[in-house]
Amino acid sequence: MAAALTPWIGSPAAAGGVIVLGSDQSNGPASHRELELLVEAGMPPLEVIRIGTLNGAIFLGKERSMGSVEEGKLADLVLLNADPLVDINNAKDINLVIKAGKIIIRRRLDLPINRKP
């Protein structure tokens, strides 16, 4: 599928458009797959990360309050164990999540992995 995207992948940005993530599923696995496909289609990982972060805020008109790590912006971010610029799949290797300025403790979440049979 990524090969089919290659001829036109940069066209919207070159024409002044903003490329954002936007599958029908906005959960983690679907977003990570979109990142993978964009890299496979030839986009540099740094640009793909921007598409998954700042560009979404720009599209929503909220780049002054979110989309990048800056003083005064909403503090939602992930700390990774490995560099996604080396391999975009490293974006899945999450060490820590901060949401609304608070550390999310995974074991306290209502997730299937946390439920005891």
8-25 per-position pLDDT tens digit: 666 666 667 788 887 666
What span, in angstroms and rounded, lies between the C-alpha atoms of 91 and 94?
7
Please provide the DSSP assignment of 15-32 as one string. TT-------S--SHHHHH
What is the reported pLDDT for 41? 87
The larger pLDDT score, comparing residue 10 to residue 93, is at 93
Residue 78's nearest CA partner among 30, 43, 28 is 28
For residues 53 and 67, the answer to whether their CB atoms sit within 8 Å is yes
What is the reported pLDDT for 39? 93
Indicate the average pLDDT of the chain. Answer: 83
In terms of pTM, does the model score above 0.85? no
For residues 23 and 52, the answer to whether their CB atoms sit within 8 Å is no
Beta-sheet pairing, 77-80 with 102-104:
unpaired
56-84 per-position pLDDT tens digit: 899 899 999 998 989 988 878 889 999 99
